[in-house]
Amino acid sequence: MCSTPARSFPRCSPLASDTTTRASSDGRSQLSLLRVRDLKKTYGSGKSLLPAVRGVSFDVAAGETLALVGESGCGKSSTARVVVGLTAPSDGTVELHGRDVRDAPRDRDLRRSIQMVFQHPDQSLDPRFTVGQTLAEPVRLLMDDDDVRGRVDRALRAVGLGPEYRDRRPRELSGGQQQRVAIARALICDPRLVVLDEPTASLDQSVRSRVIALLKELQQERQVGYLFISHDLVTVRRLAHRVAVMYLGRVVEIADTEQLFEAPQHPYTRALLAAAPVPDPRRRGSRARLAGETPSAANLPVGCSFQDRCPLVHDRCRVERPLLAATQPGHDVECFAVEALASQSGR
Ligand SMILES: Nc1ncnc2c1ncn2[C@@H]1O[C@H](COP(=O)(O)OP(=O)(O)O)[C@@H](O)[C@H]1O
Ligand code: SF4
Ligand SMILES: [Mg+2]
């Protein structure tokens, strides 16, 4: 009989610095698991350069979910792909427990420690393979066949699917079941960090809620960190501990989730929240609306890139670029107007 509890997997091979984390009262670690510094990703070459990510910095702790939000094209997926090592950064660093993710191709433990779940489960699931084969693939070289089988069954149980799913192929599953298998595949090696890029966007509302509840439960059991990308601010509010708002390749605001939703500071964040469904319709009117077109990342104005859509724009914004600065502990905003208000109220 297997002594491992149904919902836990033995570690493939722990990273050396595992012991450096400590839990806070809500189970989140205080120390950084993922450390991203001044990350840049530029596509193209010669005269046609597209700076998709323009110097982004953030941390994710063990057991924590950091959400990345922002309009389509603002660089969320590019950031995600660099973090998991699918593409190289143009500049900047990404470290997991102090180890550079660019070493992942040569470092098996590091590679297994970061996993990704995509918007469409078919990006993770090969239609030719059964669920059992798909789940066994990342672990089959690490253990004998019986152990692999036990591990696959535990992975299925962890995402609420029975062993009868082992022999099915993706086309025999619903979208929600496919995404559960994709999550099981990401978690089978017990990663430290999972990057989830719009994981519930292709699911209907009830399945979406179940997948979010599952992700929360798995995080509490395993202390895995999530970098969670989503358009759906209702889901973000349910799952994320902190939120980073991106605009044209920059993080323009980052704060604890409740702080960000209750007291957004950057004019873009305020407009983004105003455009989203809010549970209390009385509050909708008090927030700014988003006007104008997003400029092309390939042809950005001098100064603040939000200037042409900003209700608070002033002369300085057209000549100088604001930098992310703390307006209070744990709440950083990239805006001259907010910075000025914060320094007045601090006097
Ligand atoms: N492989 C690529 N080659 C060239 N441009 C790309 C590539 N991937 C993304 N882009 C461009 O980079 C910008 C950011 O894209 P992306 O990171 O996918 O944003 P998001 O996920 O926020 O929608 C967009 O302008 C997009 O067209
Ligand atoms: S820096 Fe200026 S243009 Fe940019 S968001 Fe702040 S007020 Fe608006
Ligand atoms: Mg994307």
Contact 243, 69 (CB under 8 A): yes
Distance 268 CA to ligand 1 centre (A): 20
Ligand 2 pocket test, candidate residues 268, 290, 317, most atoms within 8 A of CB:
317
Sheet holding 114-117, edge to edge: 114-117, 193-197, 225-229, 65-69, 242-247, 250-256, 331-333, 325-328
Angle at 79 between CA 307 and CA 320, to 5 degrees: 25
User: Which ligand is nearest to the Cα of residue 295, counting in written order?
Assistant: 1
Domain boundaries, the chain: 31-287
CA dihedral 75, 81, 87, 93 (to 10 degrees): 80
Sheet holding 32-45, edge to edge: 48-61, 32-45, 91-96, 99-100
Question: Using CA positions, which residue lies closest to atom 5 of ligand 2?
Answer: 335
Q: Alpha helix (H) ranges present in 26-99?
A: 76-83
What three-state secondary structure class fits 43?
Answer: strand
d(CA 282, CA 33): 39
| pLDDT at res. 280 | 54
Within 10 angstroms of residue 137's Cβ, the number of other Cβ atoms is 15
Å from CA of 103 to ligand 1 middle: 24
Which residues have a Cβ under 8 Å from the Cβ of 311 and sit 6 or more positions away? Answer: 267, 288
pLDDT digits (tens, 9 = 90+) for 102-158: 988 888 889 889 999 998 888 889 999 999 999 999 888 788 888 899 999 999 988
Q: pLDDT tens-digit profile of 74-113?
A: 999 999 999 999 999 999 999 999 999 998 888 888 988 9
Query: Using only C-alpha atoms, what is the Rg of the chain?
Result: 21
pTM for this prediction:
0.89
Write down the pLDDT at residue 141. Answer: 79
CA of 323 to the centre of ligand 3 (A): 24
Instruction: Give the pLDDT confidence of 187-230 residue by residue, as tens digits.
Output: 998 899 999 999 988 888 888 888 899 899 999 999 999 999 99
- H-state helical runs in 172-306: 175-187, 205-222, 233-239, 257-262, 267-275
pLDDT digits (tens, 9 = 90+) for 253-301: 999 999 999 999 999 999 999 887 655 555 554 455 677 778 888 889 9
Nearest CA owner, ligand 2 atom 1:
335
Substitution candidate for ligand 1 out of 41, 43, 197 with most atoms within 8 A of CB: 43
Buried b / exposed e across 271-292, counting CB within 10 Å, b at 16+? Answer: bbbbebebeeeeeeeebbebee
In a mutational test of the pocket of ligand 1, which residue from 54, 71, 78, 198 has the highest number of ligand atoms less than 8 Å from its CB?
Answer: 78
- Taking residues 318-324, report their average pLDDT: 96
Cα separation of 264 and 281, whole Å? 17
Query: Is the shortest distance between the CB of 205 and ligand 1 below 6 Å?
Result: no
Strands 114-117 and 99-100: unpaired
Q: Which amino acids bring their CB within 6 angstroms of ligand 2?
A: 267, 304, 306-307, 310, 312-313, 317, 322, 335-337
332 Cα: distance to centroid of ligand 3 (angstroms): 23
- Ligand 2 atom closest to Cα of residue 338: 6
> Which pLDDT value is given to residue 314?
96
| pLDDT of amino acid 16 | 40
Per-residue pLDDT at 9 exceeds 50? no
Identify which of 74, 102, 60 has the alpha carbon closest to the alpha carbon of residue 194.
60
Instruction: Say how far apart CA 333 and CA 273 lie, in whole Å.
Output: 15
Q: With 0-12 CB in 10 A as exposed, 13-18 as middle and 19+ as buried, what is 66?
A: buried
Give the model's pLDDT for residue 295: 83
Q: What is the dihedral of CA 135, 138, 142, 144, to 10 degrees?
A: 30
CATH number of 31-287: 3.40.50.300
Coil, strand, or helix at residue 113?
Answer: helix
54 pLDDT band, cuts 50/70/90, is: very high
Pocket lining: 82 vs ligand 1, CB cutoff 6 Å = no
Q: What angle do CA 294, 297, 301 make, to 5 degrees?
A: 75
How far is CA 91 from each of CA 36, 103, 165, 252, rounded to the nearest angstrom? Answer: 11, 15, 43, 19
Strand 193-197 to 225-229 pairing:
parallel
**Residue 41 in contact with ligand 1 by CB distance below 6 A:** no
52 CB under 6 A from ligand 1? yes
Alpha carbon of 119 to ligand 3 centroid (Å):
9
